[in-house]
Structure 1
């Protein structure tokens, strides 16, 4: 058995333990959906997600290597296909880990609806925001400074900022950490889940740098985007409970929405 198979078995065992420990601890989810509120948030999410789909980004002016800021210049690498592939699949994997927070409410249809609504809104906002920035800011990827453009990357070499893979990884990690923390405040798995999810997201961000796809500022921006929506959307859907007096008000305005929260 190689190290990868052993790691996969350990990961599967952890998931099984989580499932067994929470399946019979059914309770009403701390999160809920609201038709009026989610129509507003959903509409705003689509307004962020859709425009970049109809705009073709184009290469910008090539910046000379000597003109790159010192922080980014210190961590520039050649293209590494293996790390590119691994980090891509790992980023996709982090998009499904928020489902762990549903284990204790797996028999609750309303919880499934609430989580599905929240995650769809968070994903659309994350995807749309990173695409808007990629369209507005044409930046060559680090590997372009070490030779030719890798095969198949001819239409993507100038989309370095921000890192989409990192934004998805931190969306998954933050969404899971936020929801798991509130759903199971007394769980012994709370700290391992939070640490593990962020460790995975950080690992993906590191691979995006080491693979030559991104500068460190690209992955920092991606992490901020994913973390923001991974925290904000669940917070806007918190159910008012005894000891948790949260009031959220969504107000639509001409060019967006205003969300106010009181605790």
Structure 2
């Protein structure tokens, strides 16, 4: 399903789905969150279009590996087609799974169906996804780091000099995977603060996201520092989007096992660690 279709569906559900008579864990203002999410998505699309019209790496037609740090230099020469396919499959899965799992969870835990709850959770996921795309693309456009294959003489010159060859830092696949894994694990924890299964979503999500990152390196699409930075940035974006929407009055009860919470309000912002 395309992002615009998801956005339209969520807008309809949030506007029409009946409330179950109890407050959820999120503070959502449709007048702010819907246009914000749409705007983030639109700007990320614009940045994708701009990136596709860039020149190739300035160091081309063949970049000198002598300028690459020791950690990253070993990636040059990686060209696994299987790893590239697996990273794309993992990328698609880590985007789709939170919506599917969230829908199943609200169907089972929501007393036979909690459409509004699913729509609220999905809006946060879509907002995290859109924000992550935008930030990652802006960094790529600013840094313009050559990809590993730009240093590989075995790769065709046309590929080495293409626009994509200058967008290595940081990894968009990795940041997206970690943003979605972080956001959904936090959402599930907020919905089920006492459930032992909440830890499984953190572990499972990060394992899948790590697999995506490792495959990007094996495919020669990114350096180690690209995927590490992407993992950190994506995790931060996913965490911020969820925490900025968390109701302050449910933070304590949602975090019986300890947590770090970022709260925002009219008086400013605060960072709280609860143990």
TM over 0.5: yes
Question: What is the distance in 2 between the residues matched to 1:97 and 1:123?
Answer: 13
Q: Tell me whether 1:60 sits opposite 2:57 in the alignment.
A: yes
Q: Once the 2 structures are TM-superposed, how far is the Cα of residue 138 of structure 1 from its aligned partner?
A: 2.0
Counterpart residue number, 1:260: 269
Alignment TM-score, normalising by the size of structure 1: 0.75
Question: What is the distance in 2 between the residues matched to 1:198 and 1:164?
Answer: 16
Report if aligned partners of 1:96, 1:172 keep a CA contact under 8 Å in 2.
no
Structure 1 window deviating more from structure 2 (93-102 vs 168-177): it is 93-102
Report if aligned partners of 1:31, 1:237 keep a CA contact under 8 Å in 2.
yes
Counterpart residue number, 1:159: 167
Counterpart residue number, 2:209: 201
Aligned residue pair count? 230
Q: Secondary structure at the match of 1:241?
A: helix
Q: Once the 2 structures are TM-superposed, how far is the Cα of residue 114 of structure 1 from its aligned partner?
A: 1.3
Counterpart residue number, 1:123: 129
Question: What is the distance in 1 between the residues matched to 2:166 and 2:237?
Answer: 25
Question: What is the distance in 1 between the residues matched to 2:77 and 2:42?
Answer: 36
Match of 2:151 among 145, 149, 153: 145
Counterpart residue number, 2:73: 73
Assess, with a 3 A threshold, how the Cα gap between structure 1 residues 151 and 191 changes in structure 2: closer, same or farther: farther
Question: What is the distance in 2 between the residues matched to 1:202 and 1:158?
Answer: 23
Aligned runs of 1:1-16 on 2, under 5 Å? none
Match of 1:182 among 172, 180, 190: 190
Report if aligned partners of 1:101, 1:183 keep a CA contact under 8 Å in 2.
no
Q: CA RMSD in A?
A: 2.9
Structure 1 window deviating more from structure 2 (27-36 vs 68-77): it is 27-36
1:165-186 Cα shifts (integer Å, max 9, x gaps):
1111111211122112222122
Question: What is the distance in 2 between the residues matched to 1:243 and 1:148?
Answer: 54
Assess, with a 3 A threshold, how the Cα gap between structure 1 residues 129 and 262 changes in structure 2: closer, same or farther: closer
Q: Once the 2 structures are TM-superposed, how far is the Cα of residue 144 of structure 1 from its aligned partner?
A: 3.0
Report if aligned partners of 1:33, 1:237 keep a CA contact under 8 Å in 2.
yes
Assess, with a 3 A threshold, how the Cα gap between structure 1 residues 244 and 188 changes in structure 2: closer, same or farther: closer
Q: Tell me whether 1:98 sits opposite 2:98 in the alignment.
A: yes
Counterpart residue number, 2:83: 83
Q: Secondary structure at the match of 1:244?
A: helix
Aligned runs of 1:214-253 on 2, under 5 Å? 214-241=222-249, 244=252, 248-249=264-265
Alignment TM-score, normalising by the size of structure 2: 0.72
